Amino acid sequence: MKELVGMGLEEQESCGTRGRRALTINTTPKKKEEEDEEVERLTEPLSPAARLFHQPSFNCHIVSIMGMSKRIDVDTVKAGLEETLVRHPRFSSVLVSDGSGDGKERWLRTKVVIDSHIVAPNLEVDTCAASSPDELVEQYVSSLTTTTLPLSRPLWDFHILNLRTSEAEAVAVLRVHHSLGDGVSLISLLLACTRKTSDPTSLPSLPESRRRPTARSGGGGSRLLPAFVASAWMVLLLVWRTLVDVLLFVATSTFLKDTVTPLKGKDGVQFRRKRIVHRSLSFDDIRVVKNAVGCTVNEVFVGLTSAALSRYLGRRYGEIDDTAEDKSTFPANVRLRTTVLVNIRPNSGIHELAAMMEGHGGARWGNRIGYTILRFPIVKFEDPLDYIRKGTETAKRKKNSLEAIFTYASGALIVKLFGIKAAASLCHTMLRNTTVSFSNVAGPTEEIGFYGHPLVYIAPTVYGHPHAVTLHFQSYMNKIKLVLAVDESTVPDPNRLLDDFVESLKLTKDAIVKNSS
């Protein structure tokens, strides 16, 4: 696939000091105050998290694959990007340094040359080592994971693949450096560039987050004491769980490692090529499971992942027949955990982001993320619903903890006291000692168009971090797109892992039907 990497990607280079432009400031006494004021207006310092994502071991890029229901008009997309994304401060800034070597990088506003960010290769199945358009698109996206965005221009590009696949008439790929923002903010920004196909003037509708109903006490002084006791108990429980999570986090960042399984990546996995595959799941099936167990959609994802990973590992360890009396052949007490990135800053809505790109108001932006560590039970349950119940228990437990806030605050403190390299080393060890990355993002509830091109699916993921397996769930209309980004030397059969998710969901739904009858 070297020929694919070369199609419009000749300028790609390593995201280190090479290509970084030095910010030169004239400091003559007469004009120093005026020039300092101008520099402050045009530049903004990088946040600690943004600096982290530029370290060699964390050179992370977010990739969002979008299937379209019609061929993509390149000129229309260019015009649309210039009216929206290019107007965003991060997407119209380059990374600069003052040349002192002390890590004082800043974002500098610049003029965006849109043609430098658009890549529209002429792909033909017959001329490449691919048996189908789907495989060719997969190879092309995989080739992107071997390159990095050059620092000589704003850190994003947009690839247009006018090739008909089994799911779409054309495919577009938006690649963004993770230092520009966290995943949730960037997906929200992408959606702010879209409009409803039913009403081209309206922004997409996102599902409302609903909290579980809480018990309410009625009036009367006799109930004040029980309410106070319950509140005090909840505070103590929050403190205790946070303390436990913090101790486990510190242990993971130093010595506590996951069990070495066929899903565990080897050293240097962040530098290796990733294969990105995806599969659509029915949102109706997810809702059936959610309603039957009485949990949230996210908790269903946690339980479903536990079931699928257990199924996959069982097969990799030699369990072929699921109906055999022998429960499993994988080791007992397998420790397999995920590192979940949590957005600490309240996420700006797509309306605020759309207004920002139009020059009205200033939505919150940036990388303010903490980490939380979640364990996936690797077991063989007779009842498929037990995976969902266990996942619900695990996810609820993590919600009653301040682990993510602690990790964000401690990370910022480490950067301040010991520097970005120390923080990067600590985060790298923590990720290396866990096994997978896991996330999910809620998408629009009805069909949307990207500059007049109706979207069939959205499949985001990330590469450049030290995990061999990255799992992402993205909802859109009545589907859930499950996206896997894997190191093939670790997971040579990612489509079989996708099959395990599909089969686990089917078995869970069948168990619900059986129990109800």
Task: Return the active site residues.
Answer: 178
- Provide the CA 433 distance to its chain's centre, in angstroms: 19
Q: Determine the longest span between alpha carbons in the chain, in angstroms.
A: 86
CA dihedral (499, 468, 278, 204) positive or negative: positive
Please answer whether residues 499 and 481 qualify as being in contact, where contact means their C-beta atoms are separated by less than 8 angstroms. Answer: no
Q: For Cα atoms 277, 339, 172, give the angle at the middle one, nearest 5 degrees.
A: 30
Cα of first residue to Cα of last residue in the chain, in angstroms, is 53
Beta pairing, strands 105-109 & 170-177? unpaired
Is residue 375 helix, strand or coil?
strand
User: What number of residues does the chain have?
Assistant: 517
Strand runs labelled E in 328-478: 337-343, 369-375, 436-441, 448-450, 453-463, 469-476
Rounded Cα–Cα distance for residues 89 and 181 (Å): 11
Per the DSSP assignment, residues forming a β-bridge with 68 are 170, 455
Rounded Cα–Cα distance for residues 102 and 104 (Å): 6
Please answer whether residues 336 and 309 qualify as being in contact, where contact means their C-beta atoms are separated by less than 8 angstroms. Answer: yes
Angle between helices 385-399 and 283-293 (to 10 degrees): 80
